[in-house]
Amino acid sequence: MNRREFAKTLGLGAAALAVPYFGGCRRSPARPSAGGAPNFIMILADDLGYGDIGCFGSTTHRTPNLDRLAAQGVRMTSFYSTSGVCTPSRASLMTGCYPRRIDMHEDEAGDWVLFPVSRKGLNPGEVTIAEVLKKSVYATSCVGKWHLGDQPPFLPTRQGFDEYFGIPYSNDMGAEQGRQNPPLPLLRNEDVIEAPVDQDTLTERYTAEAVRFIADHKDGPFFLYLAQAMPHTPLHSGERFRGKSAAGRYGDAVEELDWSTGEILAALEKLGLDERTLVVFTSDNGGVRPANNAPLSGTKGGTAEGSMRVPCIIRRPGRIPAGKECRSLATMMDFLPTFAHLAGAAAPSDRIIDGKDIRTLIEKPDASKTPYEVFYYFYMGQLQAVRSGSWKLHLPLREKRHGWRKPPIEEPGRLYDLDADPAESKDLIKEHPDVVARFLALAERAREDLGDGDKPGKHQRPAGWVDIARPLTKAPGPGR
Ligand code: MG
């Protein structure tokens, strides 16, 4: 397929692809040698609650490896996803942008995530974190859940990853869950190697794949994106973990994730890569029962703190201080500019990137302030809340969207001081009309820039589209 045909397939003007693929990335004149650039490992849990691991307050789940990671690094305690659900948050992680910026805030039918056999996906014209690093000689691997489009032009292998091993969307989107769904596929690169995948084995196989990639690229630099399937429902765990936790299948899955992280840390130590490797552990969005988002309120799929504030740990011995807490606001969008800078690469300069370089935050967590003047909470395409400093305003809305296909409700507006009240329990809207007025102006700024509801923003960019979407697996699955 030539460039023009490719652009047409995606529903883009040819001009949108007229620049070379990496035309927007300015190569840094001071690019370090491969030996000087750190490796990056990004471990993303799926729907893990803010309070579900020991170092973030859990007394239920045993997470010694994650607790050790936190003891050796920084706990980010005001760290946000850009969405309460999977697809939009992962789009932000990959591109450093708000989901609305890149039209990944909802699917083609207006639902909150992409479903199998979707015509829509992350526009290959966007520059992913993997493409930024790949340009700077990194080996790149995506292991696990992708969820940014299941059609070939949208797969990880077309978005900057040398290798892919995983399920292209959520683990609850197989034929067991919906008769219209193809059997849940496990891909190696672009080929289906198993369908339906045996989910009991997933965490263990993802871990083995991750450890193999690390060993294969021990001379570095490498970028490993390990997007775990768990603890998203349906909950599964390997035999060694099944029935062993104090919290049923959910606890089993969380404890196996902890084991998996321990295996990766052990591989780094064995290969002498601890100091050359920056490790991140976080979650794509808040948890839903039986997950624990304490002390935050709300659950996955909203704009409460428990919906979008997630646990985050960042470790790099020798560069990032051990055992610190960073309370400054940072987000999922910040990894692209931060990793780019650490790698001596450059974030794209031909388009708006919403994320910030948070190197000083993680290297000097006691002394640094958030680079965010304001952070916006979207529910799908609707702007619902604004945070600046310690204040968060839930915007007054006549028709606030919430829940899975539920009718909208009226939101009168609420104002919270998150430093004093992270649970959002004491509404101060009447006491601070000045703050409310300032925040309403900030909301208008976002509406103009990113859009709101059906109103487009001035600086949005299109998603990718294919004319015809085909299932990755054709064989009938169980239940058909
Ligand atoms: Mg999720």
Q: Are residues 291 and 348 in the same domain?
A: yes
**Residue 394 and residue 352 in one domain:** no
**Are 246 and 343 found together in one domain?**
yes
> Ligand 1 centre from 7 Cα, in Å?
30
- To the nearest whole percent, how much of the chain has pLDDT over 70? 91
- Measured in Å, residue 428 CA sits from the centre of ligand 1 at 31
Identify whether residues 305 and 427 lie together within a single domain: no
The question of whether 326 is a catalytic residue gets the answer no
Task: For residues 87 and 216, state if they share a domain.
Answer: yes
Ion ligand 1: residues, CB within 5 A, are 46-47, 86, 284-285
318 and 421, same domain (yes or no): no
User: Domain containing 383 — which CATH number?
Assistant: 3.30.1120.10
Indicate whether 146 and 247 sit together in one domain. Answer: yes
Does some domain include residue 13? no
Choosing from 61, 147, 232, 394, the catalytic residue is 147
Structural domain that includes position 214: 38-363
* Domain membership flag for residue 479: no
Query: Does one domain contain both 79 and 101?
Result: yes
Q: Are residues 339 and 391 in the same domain?
A: no
Ligand 1 center from residue 48 Cα (angstroms):
8
386 and 324: one domain? no
Same domain assignment for residues 395 and 349: no
The domain tally of the chain equals 2
Q: According to the model, what pLDDT value does residue 12 have?
A: 42
- 28 has pLDDT over 70: no
Say which of 25, 55, 61, 86 is annotated catalytic.
Answer: 86
Q: How confident is the model at residue 36 (pLDDT cuts 50, 70, 90)?
A: confident
For residues 316 and 219, state if they share a domain.
yes
How large is the average pLDDT for residues 297-318?
Answer: 97
Residue 87, pLDDT > 90, answer: yes
Q: Are 282 and 45 in contact (CB under 8 A)?
A: yes
Angstrom distance (rounded) from CA 470 to CA 480 = 18
Domain membership of residue 111 (yes or no) is yes
Among the three residues 333, 363, 393, which one is the final residue of a domain in this structure? 363
Give pLDDT, residue 21. Answer: 33
Cα–ligand 1 centroid distance for 75 (angstroms) = 20
Distance in Å, CA 289 to ligand 1 centroid:
13
pLDDT score for 34? 43
Inform me whether the pLDDT recorded for 25 exceeds 70: no
Boundary (domain end) residue, out of 363, 389, 417? 363
* Rounded-to-integer distance, Cα 167 and Cα 147, Å: 8
Across residues 249-277, what is the average pLDDT? 98
The pLDDT tens digits for 360-419 are: 999 999 989 999 999 999 999 999 999 999 999 999 999 999 987 889 999 999 999 999
**Assigned domain for 348 exists:** yes
Centroid of ligand 1 to alpha carbon of 86 (angstroms)? 4
Residue 22 lies in a domain: no
**Is 24 a domain residue?**
no
Lowest mean pLDDT among 244-253, 259-268, 468-477: 468-477
Q: Residue 126 corresponds to which tokens in the numbers above?
A: 């966007």
Q: Is 61 considered catalytic here? A: no
Residue 20 lies in a domain: no
What's 93's domain CATH number?
3.40.720.10
Domain assignment present for residue 55? The answer is yes
pLDDT band at 110 (very low <50, low <70, confident <90, very high): confident
Residue of higher predicted confidence among 3 and 274: 274
Residue that terminates a domain, selected from 337, 363, 389: 363
The yes-or-no verdict on residue 300 having pLDDT over 50 is yes
- Can you give the chain as a three-state secondary structure string? CCHHHHHHHCCCCHHHHCCCCCCCCCCCCCCCCHHHCCEEEEEEECCCCCCCCHHHCCCCCCCHHHHHHHHCCEEECCEECCCCCHHHHHHHHHHCCCHHHHCCCCCCCCCCCCCCCCCEECCCCCCCHHHHHHHCCCEEEEEECCCCCCCHHHCHHHCCCCEEEECCCCCCCCCCCCCCCCCCCEEECCEEEECCCCHHHHHHHHHHHHHHHHHHCCCCCEEEEEECCCCCCCCCCCCCCCCCCCCHHHHHHHHHHHHHHHHHHHHHHHCCCHHHEEEEEEECCCCCCCCCCCCCCCCCCCCCHHHHECCEEEECCCCCCCCEEECCCEEHHHHHHHHHHHHCCCCCCCCCCCCCCCHHHHHCCCCCCCCCCCEEEEECCEEEEEEECCEEEECCEEEECCCCCCCCEEECCEEEECCCCCCCCCCCCCCCHHHHHHHHHHHHHHHHHHEECCEECCCCCCCEECCCCCCCCCCCCCCC
Judge whether residue 147 has pLDDT over 90: yes
